[in-house]
Amino acid sequence: MGFWQTFARTLPKIAVDNSKRKTTLSLTLYFLRHGQTASSRENAFCGSIDPELTQDGLEMAQAFANAYRSTPWAAIFSSPMRRTMATARPLCMSIGMELELRDGLKEINYGKWEGQSVKTVSYEYHDDYIRWSADPAWYPPTGGELAVAIASRAMQVIEEIKQRYSAGNVLIVSHKATIRIMLCSLLGIDVGRFRYRLGCPVGSVSSVEFGSHGPLLHALSDRSHLNERLRNLPGT
């Protein structure tokens, strides 16, 4: 018998009472971007304007509900825009849960850029577009909203959820910029870099768990619940 085996046999044995172990439950937030709209398909600025989902967008919403209906949801929150409510509706109907609407989850207000293409905005509002592209935290779209302002209103909703739910799964249905800004705020990323650090295509879901060491990103922009055709559609 070797030295370490002999040494181990001399150590006192400690009995472990498994019955006294505590299971630590945590809060996990799921951030779901709405399904496709005509604006997302054409890559047009769409914040305060309120398009409906396309047929493909409705299919994305149903696909999410089919994949996640067995998840034990504690609550479902949504931006009050039609595209987000329509994305949340199939899951709410499937599990019989009421949708809670919060203005803080709305998309960035793009001001004079609303409904315009990137090409048009970069031409007609060139200087504003260059400044916003460099640092949207402190330079807004022309007549629009700062990223830091979005972070402030959206994180108020996160704090409300954390106060109400110490554990469980909570779904947040929101928008491309707003979700990325919330994730940056939670993960310690400069919100001025939200456009260049995180992806958020239509119909994607990201999840963050609040553990003993703070927010932990579990999934980013997952679209595995969508079929190949939906995942490969053009647009953002």
Q: Is 199 helix (H, G, I), strand (E, B) or coil?
A: coil
Mean pLDDT over each residue of the chain, to the nearest integer: 92
Q: Which two tokens stand for residue 156?
A: 């108020």
Q: Is the separation of the CB atoms in 84 and 35 below 8 Å?
A: no
Of 20 and 165, the one with more pLDDT? 165
- Count CB neighbours of 229 within 10 A: 9
Whether 13 maps to a domain, the answer reads no
User: What are the tens digits of pLDDT across the range 52-89?
Assistant: 999 999 999 999 999 999 999 999 999 999 999 999 99
| Of 62, 53, 49, the residue nearest 89 (C-alpha) | 62
Query: Average pLDDT for residues 166-177, to the nearest whole number?
Result: 98
Q: Is residue 218 a part of any domain in this protein?
A: yes
Q: pLDDT tens digits for 103-138?
A: 999 999 999 999 999 999 999 999 999 999 999 999
**What pLDDT score was predicted for residue 11?**
53
Confidence of residue 12 (pLDDT cuts 50, 70, 90): low
pLDDT value at residue 17: 47
Give the CATH number for residue 194.
3.40.50.1240
pLDDT at 16: 44
Strands 73-78 and 214-222: unpaired
10 in a structural domain: no
For the entire predicted model, the pTM comes to: 0.89
Distance CA 80, CA 106 (A): 7
Residue 36, pLDDT above cutoff 50: yes
- Under DSSP, the state recorded for 117 is B
Q: Is residue 38 domain-resident?
A: yes
Q: How many domains does the chain have?
A: 1
Q: State the pLDDT at residue 215.
A: 97
Share of the chain above pLDDT 70, in %: 90
Q: What is the pLDDT at residue 21?
A: 40
Residue 5 lies in a domain: no
pLDDT above 90 as % of the chain = 88
Answer yes or no: is 147 within a domain. Answer: yes
In order of 54, 114, 142, 210, 214, the CA distances from 159 in angstroms are 32, 29, 30, 12, 14
Residue 4 has pLDDT above 60, yes or no: no
In-domain check, residue 76: yes
235: confidence class by pLDDT, cuts 50, 70, 90: confident
pLDDT at 87: 98
Residue 64 φ/ψ, nearest 5 degrees:
-65, -45
Q: Is residue 9 part of a domain?
A: no
Range of the domain at 193: 25-231
Q: What is the pLDDT of residue 236?
A: 76
Which are the contacts of 141, defined by CB distance < 8 A and separation ≥ 6?
45, 108, 109, 110, 111, 112, 113, 121, 125, 128, 132
Q: Which of 5-9, 18-22, 38-42, 46-50 bottoms out in mean pLDDT, i.e. has the lowest?
A: 18-22
